[in-house]
Amino acid sequence: MKLLTLMEYSLYIFFTGLFLAYTGFKTSNMTFFIGLVIIYLLVHYFSKKILTRLGKIDDRVSFPKTILGIIGSVFVTMLILTLIYT
């Protein structure tokens, strides 16, 4: 998997979790989809910009590191949400 894709997935999971926790799943359908699209566009733009600046836009990540990265992003998201709401 490309590093760009892994970074996008991880950040998208994190920011979508925060968005859903903030709105409490009480948004209308249109607001929900607009929020998700805006989050994706921002994550994609800034991920590409950061990796281009670092010169790692075409780097590849091994499969175990990919799985650990995605599991780690879910864990960090849940940890932050738990700390905020307790």
Mean predicted confidence (pLDDT) in 37-41? 95
| Integer CA distances (angstroms), 23 to 3, 17, 44, 76, in order | 30, 10, 22, 19
The domain containing residue 73 runs over which residues? 3-85
pLDDT at 67: 94
Mean predicted confidence (pLDDT) in 17-34? 86
Select the more confidently predicted residue: 27 or 36.
36
**Tally of domains in the chain:** 1
pLDDT at 6: 93
Cα separation of 42 and 13, whole Å?
Answer: 13
Confidence of residue 37 (pLDDT cuts 50, 70, 90): very high
